Amino acid sequence: MKKIIAINASPFSSGNTAWLLEELGKQIQKNGVSFEMFHLGNLLSELTLPYCVCCSSPCNRSCYAGTEFERFMETCIKADGIIFGSPVYFGSMSAQLKCFFDKTRDARARKAFIGKPACAVSVGATKYGGQQSTLRAIQDCCMVLGFSIVTDSDEEFGCGHFGLSAQRPAKEDEYAQKRIPVLANRMCKEVLK
């Protein structure tokens, strides 16, 4: 069975970003695709050094070898698609998500993500709270790694934007709720090709 994973890069495992990812997961499973969500903050907090200091070139993974983060990274590599979720912090992704991307140097050298479908989800405090710039920052990192970017545009549901964005509280954002099944369906179509 194909599998899509979600990476919750919020420091809150039950906040707005996690809620959006959970709702996406429900829709993904309705399409017959397996879904699992990971809370990045928990995985990074177990590391002695949660951010990259470029201690070796090429990367030898010494900062996370033998940890749960290493197992998580291999899960990311094996997944058929990845959804990146982040709150908006200073108009961009959370530090947790930037740490993740920085720690993908080994995966990048292995070309592990080339062609893998990926999409982005963001939640801001206000209607125009930096969600679009956050989605674009996530997409920029995904492009460096070779992911195939998926947006919330779909032939059946129409054109969307850079991805799924919401204003907190996400549970009350009606437009975001309408776009959840669109992004889920599009991701499933991509992984089932």
The model's pTM is: 0.96
Low-confidence ranges of the chain (pLDDT < 70): none
Q: 3-191, superfamily in CATH?
A: Flavodoxin domain (3.40.50.360)
| Backbone phi and psi for residue 6, each to the nearest 5 degrees, phi listed first | -120, 140
pLDDT per position as a tens digit, 29-71: 999 999 999 999 999 999 998 888 888 888 888 888 999 999 9
Structure tokens that stand for 142 in this block: 């995904």
* Domain spans, the chain: 3-191
Query: What's the CA gap between 85 and 101, in Å, rounded?
Result: 13
pLDDT at 121: 97
